[in-house]
A = this chain, B = another copy of it.
């Protein structure tokens, strides 16, 4: 038996390398969730690291929690570097969907130890970062606009609605779309491109029917050809409350029924069975009572389109 040991090892190594290479070829994006819940729990607020597959250059999709999520990811062995090095070197910039504190607290609180980088957002959002958070009374001005002195650690980049912008230091590009979040409140969806593949991340959003808006409809129209051509790899979208939440207490958020209503609109644009198996990552579940179990149950019950529903976990990577 001894003589077979070395050849077996080599075969195993060869298979491992081949499988890994194939898997990396198959995937377009890698996501490391740093925070997945909708409010309240300071250690687990909306924050997703996103990189083009095969690269180590991430962008932060929102930054509600950084440190606590990175700690979990490092402890799980997702990154081999110390937490601060991952923060400083692997996150190349931030895309902020809207300026509610549960989407930016981690960014502000970790700014003293962060490295110089870009913050990309629509103007309505950067304005609040500049005027409310990165000010000398509430924190320190780490931005390159607003109150003097500006520490200029962060370079604000105004995105333009529907226009693609390169994400510096990564192989990705972003195209932002306006969302309605408790009208007149605004939020943003980011369509991220890597080569000819896409991932769609939506910040907090209400349903068009509740918000009296057509922002989601316009977004669904835009991504229809990407779905038909199988270029869209995943949608990250919020479901904050179970169906029992009254319409007048949604505060610009979705329930399972409202999500499925929107997915039905998308499906009718794309054609029958077009959404079958599409990865839909559910973000922003509010951690109260048995919300989580209830929302999961309701999504299972209403998933007639056979979406591939995914519930992200802090520090557990997702590949698309």
Spell out A's residues near B (CB within 8 Å): 39-43, 45, 65-68, 71, 84, 99-102, 105-106, 108-110, 112-113, 127-128, 132-133, 135-139, 185, 288
A71 to B42, CA, bound (A): 11
Nearest residue (CB) in B for A110 is B40
Query: Judging by beta carbons under 8 Å apart, are A138 and B99 in contact?
Result: yes
Residues of the B chain whose Cβ atoms lie less than 8 Å from the Cβ of A138: 99-101, 128, 132-133
Q: How many of these chains are in the complex?
A: 2
State whether A102 and B113 are in contact (beta carbons under 8 Å apart), knowing that A132-B135, A138-B128, A138-B132 are contacts in the complex: no
Residues of the B chain whose Cβ atoms lie less than 8 Å from the Cβ of A71: 41
Query: Judging by beta carbons under 8 Å apart, are B40 and A67 in contact?
Result: yes
Nearest residue (CB) in B for A47 is B42
Determine which residue in A67, A100, A106 has the highest number of CB atoms from chain B within 10 A of its CB, and name it.
A67
State whether A105 and B100 are in contact (beta carbons under 8 Å apart), knowing that A128-B137, A137-B128 are contacts in the complex: no
- The 20 listed contacts between A and B (C-beta, < 8 Å) are A39-B112, A40-B112, A41-B67, A41-B68, A41-B71, A42-B43, A42-B45, A42-B67, A42-B106, A42-B109, A99-B137, A99-B138, A100-B138, A100-B139, A101-B133, A101-B138, A105-B105, A105-B109, A127-B137, A136-B185
B40, B68, B185: the one contacting A42 at CB < 8 Å is: B68
Residues of the B chain whose Cβ atoms lie less than 8 Å from the Cβ of A135: 132
A213 to B82, CA, bound (A): 38
A136 to B132, CA, bound (A): 11
A71 to B287, CA, bound (A): 12
Min Cβ gap A139→B in Å is 5
Would you list the 6 A-B pairs with minimal beta carbon distance, nearest first? A43-B43, A132-B138, A43-B68, A132-B132, A41-B67, A42-B42
Residues of the B chain whose Cβ atoms lie less than 8 Å from the Cβ of A102: 109
Residues of the B chain whose Cβ atoms lie less than 8 Å from the Cβ of A112: 39-40
State whether A40 and B113 are in contact (beta carbons under 8 Å apart), knowing that A137-B128, A137-B132 are contacts in the complex: yes
Residues of the B chain whose Cβ atoms lie less than 8 Å from the Cβ of A127: 137
Min Cβ gap A199→B in Å is 25
A262 to B42, CA, bound (A): 34
Query: Judging by beta carbons under 8 Å apart, are A105 and B101 in contact?
Result: yes
Nearest residue (CB) in B for A40 is B67
